[in-house]
Structures are given as C-alpha cells and as structure tokens.
Amino acid sequence: MSPGILGKKIGMTQIFRPDGQVVPVTVLKAGPCVVVQRKTPATDGYDAVQLGLMEYAKKSKTTKPLAGHFKKSGAEGVRFQREFRLEGIANGDLKAGDRVLAEEFKPAEKVDVIGISKGKGFAGVVKRHHFRGGDATHGSMFHRAPGSIGSSSFPSRVFPGTRMGGQMGTDRVTVRNLEIIQVDAEDNVILVKGAVPGPNGGYVIVRRAKR
C-alpha cells in the first residue's frame, strides 16, 4: 500500500450524492506514479519511498544526475517527484520500479492534499493579514497602514515574524482530512470534497490522512 500519490489539480465542479445532496469537489489527475527509489534504515537511515509522476518531460530539461537516477528504476519521463515517509505503514512490497495508481484509494477514505498556493504579488497588511484598518472619517490619516512595528527605546528593533506587507501566496499549504468522493481507476482521476490549494494544472501531493 502506497502512503500517497502525486498528481495535478484539474479544477473544481460539483456532483450529486444519491440522496440529492450537492457536493463541491476538486478533480485531481492522480498518477500514474512510479517508485523511483526505496530508502531503508540500513542504507539511508530512515524508511521512505520516492515517487515520480509519469508524464512527458524533454530530455534537455533533465540534468544528467537525475537522468541516471531515473534510469535505474525505469522512470524516464518523470518531471515531478517527492518523498513519503513510511513509518507505521504496511509497505513491505514497495520497491523501485513499482507503479502507484489511483485505484489504491477508495471512496470515503480521508486524505491530506499539499500544494503551492496561488501567488498574489505584494500585498499590504489588510489583505495579507486581515488587519482591520483605521477610521475612514473625521480627518483620520490612518487607513490601511500597519501601525507600530516595535518600541523605540526597548528593544529598539523589529522582532522577526512581525506581520507586515510583503509577498503573498506561493506558500506550501496542506489541507487535511478531505474525503474522497469518487475514484476513476481507468483515467487515474480522484475527486475529493472541498477545495485544494494551487492553480488549475498545479502539482499536488495526496497522502493518506495522518490525523
């Protein structure tokens, strides 16, 4: 049993349950994936499996070290790869060259989906951190400014992590415990309930729920 699978976000739609309830779902093209490398405590110090998403990739876009790494497991064409830890998972039969398909996941199963959120560019504190902002009346000159970011006399510096304007988005975001609604094994498509981070066409990591 694989701890997860790699894929792409196709987009969102909605489906109807047998009782007529409308469910918003995200369509994920999950796999096919190949096991690029199996790591063990004896050789690498920990137990993990490295998966690669099988899709067309130009040879000129793959470095020679990676090309040699992929060739060992017959994984030529891999463009996106990630590693999954295997502690506490029944995984004794996974080895380099094995295929991981969407059919390993079943409806009603819970998964965590990891993606890179959409980039929003430079944003102020009202949009980025949901600051309330100042009054818009009575001569106020304080509207969308952040306010004080540190004391002058002590500690006379700005603490790391102080909320300010800056780059918004392009963060690694994990959405936990999404329910699998449908699995199309023929086309390697998984429908999960709710929204998934990232733009349409963005890479995602689907792992079995940890909590």
Domains, in order of start, for the chain: 4-120+173-208 (2.40.30.10)
pTM of the entire predicted model: 0.80
pLDDT at 88: 61
Of residues 69 and 156, more confidently modeled: 156
More confident residue, 169 or 96: 169
Tens of pLDDT, residue by residue over 83-132, are: 888 876 555 577 777 788 888 888 889 999 999 999 999 999 999 999 99
Summary mean pLDDT of the chain: 86
Q: Is the pLDDT of residue 63 over 90?
A: no
Confidence of residue 43 (pLDDT cuts 50, 70, 90): confident
- Per-residue HEC secondary structure of the chain comes to CCCEEEEEEEEEEEEECCCCCEEEEEEEEECCEEEEEEECHHHHCCCEEEEEEECCCCHHHCCHHHHHHHHCCCCCCEEEEEEEECCCCCCCCCCCCCEECHHHCCCCCEEEEEEECCCCEEECHHHHHCCCCCCCCCCCCCCCCCCCCCCCCCCCCCCCCCCCCEEECCCEEEEEEEEEEEEECCCCEEEEECCCCCCCCCEEEEEECCC
